[in-house]
């Protein structure tokens, strides 16, 4: 995929971008795991999610948070990384001003960042959250959650307890006007080590089921 350089609040951000030539193609941004624990845009799950969106006809971007790879800056504790994600989404939308839908996705810490970005950007239509760290971070900001999406979690996850994700899903499902699809994947650990194909299939099925048709009207503000 073509390498891109994105202007960020702390300097340049390194990214990879696949462009769909259809001017109304939907767009998606894929967010990496925790930068302080080796998370990069080349994480296996981020990479596979990126390509799932590509196969579905999206223009899609993944990037390194500040201080990772060739991205400038240093780890800021979260606020700066969220600003990086917002700048990356700005760049993606500038390349695709007529996109008919906007999606966000992330794995682990990237799922937490994706949900925070969702709350700050009302133009985002859908989310895909893979193994969100609901035991470590407060997801109380999702009140209310503005968009529907899917949460995919491993039944054998030893990093993020299922009970924490269950509580998050139960809270989201009480909210009106959105639908949260919760998929607890049998035999999957936090990194979906032996279940990568199952995860890919779940993501592709969700996209195919929920993506608006090509002739759908543009969403205001996109």
Cβ atoms 125, 114 nearer than 8 A: no
Write the pLDDT tens digit of every residue in 123-138.
Answer: 999 999 999 999 999 9
Write the pLDDT tens digit of every residue in 141-185.
Answer: 998 899 999 999 999 999 999 999 999 999 998 888 999 999 999
Q: What pLDDT score was predicted for residue 222?
A: 38
Residue 1: band (very low, low, confident or very high) from pLDDT cuts 50, 70, 90: low
Cβ atoms 16, 3 nearer than 8 A: yes
Residue 104: band (very low, low, confident or very high) from pLDDT cuts 50, 70, 90: very high
Write the pLDDT tens digit of every residue in 173-194.
Answer: 888 899 999 999 999 999 999 9
Backbone angles phi, psi at 143, to 5 degrees: -145, 90
Write the pLDDT tens digit of every residue in 43-54.
Answer: 999 999 999 999
What is the pTM (predicted TM-score) of this model?
0.95
Residue 220 has pLDDT above 60, yes or no: no
71 vs 4, 5, 9, 43, 208, CA distance in Å? 11, 9, 11, 16, 33
195 vs 45, 192, 206, CA distance in Å? 11, 5, 17
Q: What pLDDT score was predicted for residue 205?
A: 97
> What is the residue extent of each domain of the chain?
3-210
Residue 221 has pLDDT above 60, yes or no: no
For the structural domain made of 3-210, what CATH number should be given? Answer: 3.40.50.1820
Nearest to 85 by CA among 114, 108, 112: 114
> Is residue 24 packed enough to be buried (19+ CB in 10 Å), middle (13-18) or exposed (0-12)?
middle
Tell me the C-alpha distance between 103 and 127, whole Å.
Answer: 6
């Amino acid at each position: 995929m073509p390498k891109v350089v994105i202007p960020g609040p702390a300097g340049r951000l390194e990214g990879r971008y696949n462009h769909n030539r259809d001017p109304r193609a939907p767009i998606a941004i894929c967010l990496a795991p925790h930068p302080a624990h080796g998370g990069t845009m080349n994480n296996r799950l981020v990479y596979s999610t990126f390509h799932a969106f590509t196969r579905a006809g999206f223009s899609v971007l993944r990037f390194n948070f500040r201080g990772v790879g060739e991205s400038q800056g240093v780890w800021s504790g979260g606020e700066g990384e969220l600003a990086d994600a917002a700048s990356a989404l700005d760049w993606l939308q500038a390349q695709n001003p007529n996109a008919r839908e906007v999606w966000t996705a992330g794995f682990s810490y990237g799922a937490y960042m994706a949900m925070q970005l969702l709350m700050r950007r009302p133009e985002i239509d859908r989310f895909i959250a893979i193994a969100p760290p609901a035991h470590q971070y407060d997801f109380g900001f999702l009140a209310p959650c503005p968009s529907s999406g899917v949460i995919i979690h491993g039944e054998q996850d030893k990093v993020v307890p299922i009970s924490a994700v269950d509580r998050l899903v139960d809270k989201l499902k009480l909210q009106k006007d959105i639908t949260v699809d919760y998929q607890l994947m049998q035999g999957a650990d936090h990194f979906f080590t032996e279940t990568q194909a199952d995860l890919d299939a779940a993501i592709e099925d969700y996209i195919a089921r929920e993506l608006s048709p090509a002739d759908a009207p543009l969403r205001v503000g996109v």
